């Protein structure tokens, strides 16, 4: 097909392969092929992916995803689709980020009858990313997108955790600097190496995605934070209690939507259970207030009950809940 790159199995002699195991030339009437989406088909593929969003938001997501593909460095993002008799029936987008991770979009399908092809589509992405330095692929689903769970699992994804997404509005922000025993310093004031060690110390006994402990280097995690959210170096902090480093706070400023994001915060074990996490969150709200932002957003593991209670007490309200799945490509 003009404008598309066919994906062939290493041992199929270069033939275009159908999802039923035959080359497309063997039965042209029902052959399904997986292709890298290019040219004029890209718009239709993105439209399919956007069907997973509420109808009133699809146009905005279409523009965002189209812009994302244009701006992504070569080889770091793309779309794969499944085609039947010249019709595009399923599509998915992938993006590789620093920190050896990739993000997979929720697949888009033309109709419910096309659901069975999703596992083959996702396996093609996994195979493609296995040839890169990517070590982990993440994706997340809402409850309405649960039909995709089985195809994802069939392509190598496993359940990781369940996240709730929360937001505090500007009306909940403090109007003056909060009183706290902590002070907040930029990473270069403690050295980048020391900052990485501080972040790592906050993972001990954490209730936020504990399954990931030990699976990724902290330096890779920080690289992902810089790449997947607008990097705001003046909003990364080591949390100090006197001359002791006791935690970290990482924020991102989304000026285009007039919102701020709490990317990660953590305290070392000795500082927990004393209500001091609220001091860190309150400081984040104060910084959002100083920049005139409308909201402060964050995601938290549903198993992190103490943090959820703290967020609720500080005015955060739930926006949605998503289930996170991961496919590990780690070698050895």
Domain check: are 134 and 190 in the same one?
no
Among candidate residues 156, 185, 220, the one where a domain is terminated: 156
CATH number of residue 77's parent domain: 3.40.630.30
Residue 219 lies in a domain: yes
C-alpha to C-alpha distance for 307 and 207, rounded to whole angstroms: 9
Domain check: are 129 and 208 in the same one?
no
Tokens of 78: 């793309």
Domain check: are 170 and 316 in the same one?
yes
Identify the pLDDT of residue 32: 84
Identify the pLDDT of residue 332: 53
Q: pLDDT tens digit string along 37-79?
A: 999 899 999 999 999 888 999 999 999 999 999 999 999 999 9
Residue 327 lies in a domain: no
The answer to whether residue 9 scores a pLDDT higher than 50 is no
Domain check: are 186 and 92 in the same one?
no
Residue 117 lies in a domain: yes
Domain check: are 148 and 179 in the same one?
no
Residue 331 lies in a domain: no
Segment 324-332 mean pLDDT: 85
Domain check: are 312 and 265 in the same one?
yes
**Strand intervals (E) in the chain:** 5-6, 32-36, 77-84, 87-97, 101-104, 108-109, 136-141, 158-169, 183-185, 236-241, 244-254, 259-267, 295-301, 317-328
C-alpha to C-alpha distance for 31 and 101, rounded to whole angstroms: 33
Q: pLDDT tens digit string along 110-161?
A: 999 999 999 999 999 999 999 999 999 999 999 999 999 999 999 999 999 9
Residue 281 lies in a domain: yes
Domain check: are 9 and 128 in the same one?
yes
Residue 122 lies in a domain: yes
Domain check: are 199 and 266 in the same one?
yes
**Burial (CB count <10 Å: 0-12, 13-18, 19+), residue 175:** exposed
Q: Which residues have a Cβ under 8 Å from the Cβ of 89 and sit 6 or more positions away? A: 32, 81, 82, 83, 109, 110, 111, 114, 117
Among candidate residues 156, 174, 190, the one where a domain is terminated: 156
Q: What is the DSSP string of 281-304?
A: HHHHHHHHHHTT-SEEEEEEETT-
Domain check: are 207 and 126 in the same one?
no
pTM: 0.86
When divided into structural domains, the chain yields a total of 2
Domain check: are 135 and 229 in the same one?
no
Identify the pLDDT of residue 166: 98
Average pLDDT, the chain: 88
Identify the pLDDT of residue 17: 34
Domain check: are 170 and 309 in the same one?
yes
Segment 164-181 mean pLDDT: 96
Among candidate residues 108, 133, 156, the one where a domain is terminated: 156
Identify the pLDDT of residue 30: 60
Q: Containing domain of residue 68, as a range?
A: 5-156
Residue 214 lies in a domain: yes
Domain check: are 189 and 304 in the same one?
yes
Residue 242 lies in a domain: yes
């Amino acid at each position: 097909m003009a404008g598309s790159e066919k994906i062939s199995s290493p041992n199929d002699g270069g033939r275009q392969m159908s999802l039923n195991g035959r080359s497309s030339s063997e039965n042209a009437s029902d052959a399904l092929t997986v292709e890298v989406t290019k040219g004029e088909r890209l718009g239709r593929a993105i439209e399919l992916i956007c069907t997973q969003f509420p109808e009133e938001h699809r146009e905005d997501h279409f523009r965002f995803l189209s812009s994302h593909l244009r701006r992504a460095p070569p080889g770091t993002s793309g779309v794969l689709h499944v085609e039947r008799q010249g019709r595009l029936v399923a599509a998915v987008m992938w993006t590789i980020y620093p920190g050896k991770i990739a993000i997979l979009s929720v697949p888009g399908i033309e109709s419910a009858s096309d659901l069975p092809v999703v596992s083959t589509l996702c396996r093609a992405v996994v195979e493609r990313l296995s040839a890169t330095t990517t070590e982990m692929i993440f994706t997340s689903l809402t409850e309405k997108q649960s039909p995709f769970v089985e195809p994802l699992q069939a392509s190598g994804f496993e359940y990781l955790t369940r996240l709730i997404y929360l937001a505090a509005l500007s009306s909940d922000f403090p109007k003056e600097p909060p009183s706290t025993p902590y002070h907040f310093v930029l990473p270069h004031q403690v050295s980048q190496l020391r900052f990485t060690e501080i972040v790592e110390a906050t993972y001990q006994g954490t209730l936020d995605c504990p399954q990931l402990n030990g699976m990724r280097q902290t330096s890779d995690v920080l690289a992902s934070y810089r790449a997947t959210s607008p990097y705001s170096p003046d909003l990364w902090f080591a949390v100090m209690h006197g001359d002791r480093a006791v935690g970290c706070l990482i924020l991102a400023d989304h000026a285009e939507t007039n919102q701020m994001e709490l990317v990660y915060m953590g305290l070392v074990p000795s500082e927990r259970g004393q209500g001091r996490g609220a001091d860190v969150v309150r400081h984040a709200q104060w910084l959002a207030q100083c920049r005139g932002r409308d909201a402060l957003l964050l995601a938290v593991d549903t198993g992190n009950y103490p943090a959820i209670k703290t967020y609720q007490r500080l005015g955060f309200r739930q926006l949605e809940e998503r289930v996170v799945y991961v496919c590990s490509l780690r070698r050895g």
